[in-house]
Amino acid sequence: MNLIVQKFGGTSVENPETLKIVAQKIIDCKSKGNEVVVVVSAMGSSTDELINLANELSDTPSPREMDMLLSAGERITMSLLAMHLNNLGYESFSLTGSQAGITTTSRHGMAEIENISGERVKEGINEGKIVIVAGFQGVNKETKEITTLGRGGSDATAVALAAALGAEKCEIYTDVEGVFTADPRIVTKAKLIEEITYDEMLEMASSGARVLMARSVEFGRRYNVPIIVKPTFSEGSGTIVKDKVMEQAIVSGVTHNDKEIKFTLFGVPDQPGIAGKVFGPLSENGVIVDMIVQNVSKESKTDISFTAPLEQKSEVENILEKLSTELEAEGADSDPNIARVSLIGAGMKAESGIASKMFSILGENKINIAMISTSPIRISCVVNKDDMQKAIDSLHKEFIEA
């Protein structure tokens, strides 16, 4: 018998009406002779609402209490869905991440899955029941505390669970038809991608295509779990993320990320070891530093700029304030008015001139590039936030529509 893990995101489980549609997808899958394990997100934007509630009562809520609070969102969905399935005559029960045996590192708000024993999930499967697992959460073995996996973390729960249970595939149901060549809400001419490699999907997810959490793609690649991104509200076949694809485009997608801030440390002494002194404390504190630029040194002093996620703004500012004093730098500041646009494509490895063409297109559109970074299959440019839409449109037109 085939085992399929199905994950339903926030908009899919937004209210009782959409939960009924979700239940029907689960029943259809089960009726075809499959065993089904379901992973759910919190309803609609309830995770954001819980964060806002916390911020109304505290400027610096304790990370432990934040995880206790946020993990409740997924628990509401899982129990409601189980009740509804039971009501329809399908035996079903729900489990928290901890009850499902999902153990994680201890870092609250950004924990990583270390192991999934899945005992109670397997028991449920053996009894022919539909097991519903709360996404986005686990427990740390040493501290015994509940943890959450970071925004979008239910995707990681689903793919990791599929790997741990030896599922045939992991289906990620969402509010769009699948993975597109650009965010379909931003680019009207974005096209559905039928199949994409783990490597490209990982770059797309890491550079802003939030349809899948990057870590879920990493699990898929590591344990060879096919991931299918599908629509909840239609019958489309979606996008399959796998090892190899039939036709490799030069550029598969254009992504954007406007949820990062650019930080600059001014007038740092230009000496060996200085970069280590700056980025060491940032990484020790779990700051996800992305693009880095070090300016040409003037009078033995240099400016170092980098980008980091918006949600880590206050942590980074505190660290930079301390570093600025310790290193006798001339100060630090931050610029939230930036956005990153990226081209992703495994075919770029064998094709020269893509980067220069990208820079020319941005130049022709009078868009200034503040930072550049590349990987073998990605080119990213940081631009002014006001230029983001024009940048995405012009790059999509030249590289995808042309």
Q: Which of 4, 6, 10, 163 binds ligand ASP (CB under 6 A)?
A: 10
What is the contact mask toward ligand ASP in residues 17 to 56, using x (rule: CB under 6 A)? ------------------------xx----x---------
Give me the phi and psi of 305, to 5 degrees please: -115, 150
> Who contacts 387 (Cβ-Cβ below 8 Å, separation ≥6)?
339, 365, 367, 368
Nearer to Mg ion, 9 or 220 (CB): 9
Instruction: Work out which of 73, 152, 220, 238 binds Mg ion, going by CB under 5 A.
Output: 152
Does 11 bind ligand ADP (CB under 6 A)? Our answer is: yes
**Which uninterrupted H or E stretch holds 104?**
strand 102-104
Among 101, 135, 238, 267, binds ligand ASP (CB under 6 A): 135
Partner whose binding site includes residue 311, from ligand ADP, ligand ASP, Mg ion, none (CB under 5 to 8 Å by kind): none
| Chain-centre distance for alpha carbon 142 | 27
Question: Burial letters for 176-207: b for 16+ Cβ neighbours within 10 Å, e otherwise?
Answer: bbbbbbbbbebbeebebbebbbbbbbbbbbbb
Read off the tokens for 149. 């996996």
For residue 74, give the DSSP letter.
Answer: H
Q: Strand 227-231 vs strand 92-95: parallel, antiparallel, or unpaired?
A: unpaired
Total of residues contacting Mg ion (CB under 5 A): 2
Q: How many CB atoms lie within 10 A of CB 284?
A: 9
CA quadruple 116, 119, 125, 131: dihedral positive or negative? negative
> Per CB under 6 A, which region of 179-187, 261-269, 312-320, 381-389 contacts ligand ADP?
179-187
Distance CA 250, CA 344 (A): 8
Contact partner, 136, from ligand ASP, Mg ion, ligand ADP, none, Cβ < 5-8 Å per class: ligand ASP
Judged by CB under 6 A, the residue of 73, 97, 101, 152 near ligand ADP is: 152
| CB atoms inside a 10 Å sphere around CB 83 | 14
- Choose between 213 and 225: whose C-beta lies nearer to ligand ASP: 213
- Part of the chain binding ligand ASP (CB under 6 A), chosen from 152-160, 238-246, 263-271, 363-371: 152-160
List contacts with Mg ion (CB under 5 A): 9, 152
List contacts with ligand ASP (CB under 6 A): 9-10, 41-42, 47, 73, 135-136, 151-155
